[in-house]
Chains A and B, each alone.
Chain A
């Protein structure tokens, strides 16, 4: 950019300095002369344009007819198939498109080809004139004077106070939008009920799973026993309780202290709800032992107790402690030892409460 300010106005392509704005400018030559269209000079062309416009309007009528025929003649009765719906949808669409485009293109063609196309210039007016401003100021002054609000500060202050407080009921009235969270997020259905451990059952049919069913490399999508029998809040419970059950070679699991008895013969169960923002982390790669969330690509390593190895999640997936009951079915020995799903402000507090 070295020569940008060399100030030589004759050197084409370079730049002049401050004085440039005062240097003479080109005169505005005004609106270019109007050029006549074919239809302006040739009556045949005008006639042709007129016919084209009429044809376009006519095609709109055809479109309307297509729509009505498609609506009434195509039956969506019991024998209809997807192809019937596809046909009707296409015909309704074509009909509408013709009906609308016919009118639209017809009008525009009419405007372009036959209506006068002289460009005109109109003056702009000041958005606010000084005269108006002064008049407005006088009016406002009069109004303020007549209310006497300046002379009576008591009125002003009490009014301001009242107006400031008045919206509070309007906010308070939304207090019943939802219940208090309390520690609802900290517990799931997996907690043993009356001493009975919950079985792991298949999603969606709810049949229990035997440890011997889970072969190496397989992945079971699991819901707690009794979930399907819930009448209320089934999805709420499911949203916290879904679990992914997998079996690895027991050697590749290296349980940390306190988790040694959370798995059974290489079978492990982890919460399926992503610790990022809660999508189901359901993509299990059986050779790499990675779990991938399809929403934001957080990747968890099963062999490292679902530690985050990629993506936006920050916390490992919670593990569900499991064992086998007398009949050989897999059961959860307790609830999760931490709240599942996305983090929230009170989460750490809840986790401490669970473990104390």
Chain B
């Protein structure tokens, strides 16, 4: 049997210490041992039964229950005050074989895999690479769980691919304690798995585009995501190069995403006029430099011997800025906010990417382990890419007027079909500021006030925007979610109310949902026109 340990806790915190938040119980489920003799399907179903038992316990106690993965989100989206479930040890992996495909499926079976919720990006990549496959994209690093990634919309800067949820083709949800509460969900327009295969998971099948798209970015509140079917692709290599280019040119490329007349002039390679796989612009808001460091990554064909040509993309020796030094800088900044620009400029060689030689590697090698694990904040706004430079200018000016210890970057992602995806523009530019946390008690503007001003400045300038669900924001800003998503909020709530019974809607709610009003029921479902 899968086993769950339940710890009494008083608090819980995110990886980057954006809390702490109050908590009663912390639950960790581990799978039945390999020596049990159970096959993987039996272990998976055994784990599902365990999760249903835990959901029932929470419901019987009138408590909330929330699954968490690697807790990389900086907002409180992963937090629930009663019971939090650490699912990282639930990491079974299933390749899909030809006879397991739906008869109308257009997918190549060898590209499909079912991963249990707790599989982390790094182990998924390792598993896929041994089969000659790769994820289509990931975030900037590799520690998130697959369920955590899709619940919050984790993205990279892959212009023509999208976010992690955009290559998900099936979801196994547990929405309650009853047998019929184990659901397998996929799009009716793009079915993937054969019914007889899904029966291995004792799941009720729902094929519906709207339901699937709403559940895809479910904010941890569409039930317990037990399994995720993803579409991978054949291994490929990424050719990474960082160089400084004229600020005006970098911003023009951001606003147009038209690379047809642009030559990045990368030594030893010809990418003249080629649209990159990944385009990222870094800017220090406190610098007047007329050039921006820009990261260009191009996709090239995989070959075995690439390390002989380009060296190992993963450094043999890693060095980090002394953590206490960073914290010392923040202490100074808290007392003397005017020193922030100088401090950021002092640290810029450590926090901005350096112009360096070409790096070539697999996706998992280019977006490798995260370096900094200490206290951090990040605010990330999605705007239509045609508004990139304007949004950056407004937010950077706001930051110069109200200095905070961070630098900006812009990343670009293709539109998602998920109902509440923040990548909702044809191409979304994520304008983000990342930095080190400071104390709200000191002289610097508070993070809450700063992020509120960010919302106001975009609204005042009529720039439609979204906010990354996993990042810091003034989430209690009145009408924020409706402003960002309009009628899609009702669509999302409607699906949630269809999938979850009323008691289960409360079990799978959380403070983040309360703050954003997403846990509030629709006024009268019958009157809704969505």
Answer yes or no: are A and B bound together in one complex: no
